[in-house]
C-alpha cells in the first residue's frame, strides 16, 4: 500500500517512521529544512533515549504523484494548510485511495470530503506525545495509538481495513462509531490544555501541578463539554474527569500549540478554539474561560517585531 505522509512533522513523522519500519512503501511530503534534513540524515525518531533513522523518498510538492496515485494518504498538515492539500490530492490520490485526517480540532474531514468525496475520507485521532526539537527529528515522549471513524452515513469498511493494517504495522488502532463524539471528546482535552500550556509556556505535568492553571483547564473543559452537548454530541458523563486524569508518561509532553508558539509559527487557534466559540454563540452557551483563552492565544499569534 503506497502511502504518502502529507506533513512530516511530529505526528506525521512518527506515524511514517512506524510504517517504514514495518516495511510499507512510504513517501514523505516535507519542505524546507525538514526536507533537507530527512534527505541528508533520514527521518529520525528519538524514543526512550535511543535514536533510530529510516530512509524513504522525500517530495516537496505533489506535482508528480505515482502513475496510479497513492493508496493511502495520512494528512498530517496543520489545519490552515489542509484546503491546499485537499486540492493537490485530487490528482495524487488513487482511484480507490483513502485519506486519513489526523488534525486537531474540528472540520478536517469535511474539508477533505468536499474535494475528494466523503467515502474516501477517514477521520483519525492520534494519542501520542511527540515534538520536533530540530528539523527531521521527532522526539517521542509517550503513546502512539490511533482511533478511526468515518463521516455520518459512510460505512466503516475502509476504516476497519485500515485499523487492521495499522495494528499489523505496530500502531495500536481502534474504531469509534461516532466521529462527532470522537472529535469533541479529544477537543475537551485540546481546547483546554493546548491554550493554557501555550500561554503559560509549561508542560502538561506542570499545568496539572499548578492549582491555578489546573482550575483554568478544568473550567475550559467543562465549557467545551457543555457546547458539545448543546450541539447534540453524545459525550460520556465523566469526560472532564477522564481528560484531567493525565497519565504519568504524558507529564513531560508539550502540546502542539506550545510548540508552534515557541517556533514562531501560527497556532491552530481557529480549528481548536474558534470552532468551539462559533458553536457556543450559535447555541447561546456561555464560555467565558474559552473566550479569554482565545483572546490571549490570538495575541500570541500576532507577528512580533523583528
Please list the helix, strand and coil fractions of the chain in percent, rounded to the nearest 5, in that order.
50, 20, 30
Strand segments, DSSP code E, in the chain are: 3-6, 26-29, 43-47, 50-54, 58-59, 70-75, 93-101, 121-134, 137-149, 173-175
C-beta of residue 270 within 8 angstroms of C-beta of residue 79 = yes
pLDDT digits over 204-253, tens only?
A: 999 999 999 999 999 999 999 999 999 999 999 999 999 998 888 888 88
| pLDDT at residue 301, rounded to an integer | 77
Helices 82-92 and 108-116: angle between axes, nearest 10 degrees: 30
pLDDT digits over 160-206, tens only?
A: 999 999 999 999 999 999 999 999 999 999 999 999 999 999 999 99
DSSP result, 57-98: -EESSSSS--TT-EEEEEE-S-GGGHHHHHHHHHHHEEEEEE
What spatial distance separates the first Cα and last Cα of the chain, rounded to whole Å?
A: 46
| pLDDT at residue 248, rounded to an integer | 85
Predicted model pTM: 0.92
| pLDDT at residue 304, rounded to an integer | 53
Q: Is the pLDDT of residue 268 over 50?
A: yes
pLDDT digits over 110-146, tens only?
A: 999 999 999 999 999 999 989 999 999 999 988 899 9
Structural domains of the chain, with CATH: 3-177 (3.40.50.720), 181-301 (1.10.1040.10)
Among candidate residues 273, 261, 254, the one with its CA nearest the CA of residue 199: 261
How do beta strands 3-6 and 26-29 pair?
parallel
pLDDT digits over 53-87, tens only?
A: 999 999 999 988 888 999 999 999 999 899 999 99
Among candidate residues 116, 118, 211, 114, the one with its CA nearest the CA of residue 158: 118
Amino acid at each position: 500500500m503506497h502511502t504518502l505522509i502529507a506533513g512530516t512533522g511530529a505526528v506525521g513523522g512518527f506515524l511514517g517512521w512506524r510504517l517504514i519500519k514495518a516495511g510499507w512503501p512510504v513517501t514523505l511530503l516535507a519542505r524546507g529544512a525538514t526536507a533537507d534534513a530527512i534527505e541528508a540524515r533520514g527521518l529520525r525518531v528519538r524514543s526512550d533515549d535511543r535514536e533510530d533513522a529510516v530512509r524513504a523518498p522525500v517530495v516537496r510538492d505533489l506535482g508528480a504523484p505515482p502513475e496510479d496515485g497513492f493508496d493511502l494518504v495520512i494528512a498530517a498538515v496543520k489545519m490552515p494548510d489542509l484546503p491546499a492539500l485537499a486540492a493537490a490530492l485530487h490528482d495524487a490520490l488513487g482511484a480507490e485511495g483513502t485519506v486519513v485526517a489526523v488534525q486537531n480540532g474540528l472540520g478536517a474531514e469535511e474539508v477533505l470530503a468536499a474535494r475528494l468525496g466523503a467515502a474516501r475520507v477517514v477521520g483519525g485521532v492520534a494519542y501520542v506525545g511527540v515534538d520536533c526539537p530540530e528539523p527531521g527529528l521527532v522526539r517521542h515522549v509517550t503513546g502512539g495509538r490511533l482511533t478511526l471513524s468515518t463521516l455520518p452515513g459512510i460505512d466503516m469498511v475502509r476504516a476497519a481495513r485500515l485499523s487492521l493494517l495499522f495494528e499489523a504495522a505496530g500502531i495500536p488502532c481502534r474504531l469509534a462509531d461516532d466521529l462527532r463524539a470522537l472529535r469533541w471528546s479529544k477537543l475537551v482535552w485540546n481546547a483546554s490544555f493546548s491554550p493554557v500550556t501555550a500561554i503559560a509556556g509549561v508542560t502538561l505535568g506542570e499545568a496539572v501541578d499548578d492549582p491555578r492553571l489546573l482550575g483554568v483547564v478544568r473550567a475550559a473543559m467543562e465549557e467545551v463539554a457543555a457546547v458539545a452537548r448543546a450541539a447534540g454530541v453524545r459525550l460520556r458523563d465523566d469526560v472532564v474527569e477522564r481528560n484531567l486524569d493525565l497519565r504519568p508518561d504524558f507529564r513531560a509532553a508539550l502540546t502542539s500549540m506550545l510548540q508552534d508558539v515557541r517556533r514562531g509559527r501560527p497556532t491552530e487557534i481557529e480549528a481548536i478554539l474558534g470552532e468551539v466559540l462559533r458553536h457556543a454563540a450559535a447555541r447561546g452557551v456561555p464560555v467565558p474561560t474559552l473566550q479569554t483563552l482565545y483572546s490571549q492565544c490570538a495575541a500570541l499569534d500576532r507577528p512580533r517585531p523583528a
